[in-house]
Amino acid sequence: MATVAELLQPVEADLDALLADLRSLIGAGHPILQAAAEHLFAAGGKRLRPGIVLLISRAISPAGELESRHRRLAEITEMIHTASLVHDDVVDEASTRRGVDTVHSRFNHRVAVLAGDFLFAQASWHLANLNDLEVVKLLSRVIMDLADGEVKQGLFRYDTGQNFETYLEKSYCKTASLIANSARAAGVLTGLNPAQLDSLYRFGRQLGLAFQVVDDILDFTGSDQQLGKPAASDLASGYLTAPALYALEERPALAGLIEREFSQDGDLEQALDLVRSSQAITRSRALAQGFADEARDALSWLPPSPSRSALLALPEFVISRLY
């Protein structure tokens, strides 16, 4: 199986340039933000989101060339994503993300709020200056979905009555909307037809959902070290994801443990045993696989190119994190 670096190889140089741009854009003349920018846009991150925008932009370009507006779109995508992570970490009081200190724990929550606002503001400014109202609408929808997802996530904590639809909606808002709408926006900038735009959106949506479900499974099956955070931390915090929701159907005893917020000794361990001994992980894997297959199928119409090959391999790469 390819690594993510191998998959992003067709746009590796583009991504390096993008990260350098972002570091200088955010840090320029603002010592307070400089350190936060270095921290946020350090080299070596995988940058899947701008990578996808860049791969799509190259794959749909008649000459395989990248236009400056597509580069800018990829940058905006990463700014919005990073701004939302920085603020979410304040709201969720997370102290690490994938094993790295969050901005508000490394600096403080004032710098985190400021850095996030500055990134959102830069994103909205550059977005307007792409001079395409349709693209502005797509990305402002993303910003709304991200805020909405964060609110929804808080609303349904420890709520065993929530249905699967709610979970998918929250996953769409928090993860898939950005990938789906930025993929579509890349197509809008190239002037693709409506059916092609729909397929780019569908690719991003299904890939984003697969990505989120895989993340949610890993929370149950990964070790603390693999995850860069304590295992089962979603469940412990009351965030009910695919495995927990499937397990609730099979193991009614789980509901009681969740509803009393794991307040008694051994509750969380017992809940984990219930999830792991059920069909929940198997069913969640099938769900993720379905989304991944749909994502891949959505792009079969692309003309052959290294970028197309990378895009078609991405969904299976996302799934491979499970094995």
Which residues pair with residue 100 across a beta bridge? 97
Distance CA 323, CA 283 (A): 15
Q: Cβ neighbours of residue 59 under 8 Å, at least 6 residues apart?
A: 299, 302, 303, 305, 307, 308, 311
Q: Work out whether 114 is an interface residue with a second copy (CB under 8 A).
A: yes
User: Which residue of 49, 53, 69, 120 would you call a contact of a second copy, by CB under 8 A?
Assistant: 120
Q: Does 31 bind a second copy (CB under 8 A)?
A: yes
Backbone angles phi, psi at 96, to 5 degrees: -135, 155
Joined tokens for residue 42: 């350090």
Residues 48 to 107 in contact with a second copy, rule: CB under 8 A: 87, 90-91, 93
118 or 262, CB closer to a second copy? 118
Quote the tokens at residue 233: 């931390």
Question: Of the ranges 123-131, 185-193, 264-272, 301-309, which one interacts with a second copy (CB under 8 A)?
Answer: 123-131
Cβ atoms of residues 10 and 58 within 8 Å: yes
Contact 171, 213 (CB under 8 A): yes
By the 8 A CB rule, do 73 and 83 touch? no
* Residues touching a second copy, count (CB under 8 A): 38
- Asked if residue 8 lies in contact with residue 310, where contact means CB atoms within 8 angstroms, the answer is yes
Stretch that binds a second copy, among 41-49, 114-122, 176-184, 253-261 (CB under 8 A): 114-122
- Give 309's contacts (C-beta < 8 A, 6+ positions apart): none
Residue 134 corresponds to which tokens in the numbers above? Answer: 């349709």
Nearest approach, Cβ of residue 163 and a second copy (Å): 16
Comparing CB distances to a second copy, the nearer of 141 and 251 is 141
Q: With CB under 8 A as the contact rule, which of the stretches 148-156, 159-167, 245-253, 281-289 interacts with a second copy?
A: 148-156
Among 143, 232, 240, 280, binds a second copy (CB under 8 A): 143
- Taking the least distance from each CB to a second copy, the nearer of 110 and 260 is 110
Q: Cα separation of 209 and 169, whole Å?
A: 10
Identity of the residue, 136 or 268, whose beta carbon is nearer to a second copy in the bound complex: 136
| Residue 151 in the binding site for a second copy (CB under 8 A) | yes
**Interface residue list for a second copy (CB under 8 A):** 30-33, 87, 90-91, 93, 109-110, 113-114, 116-118, 120-122, 124-125, 127-129, 131, 133, 136-137, 140-141, 143-144, 146-148, 150-151, 154-155
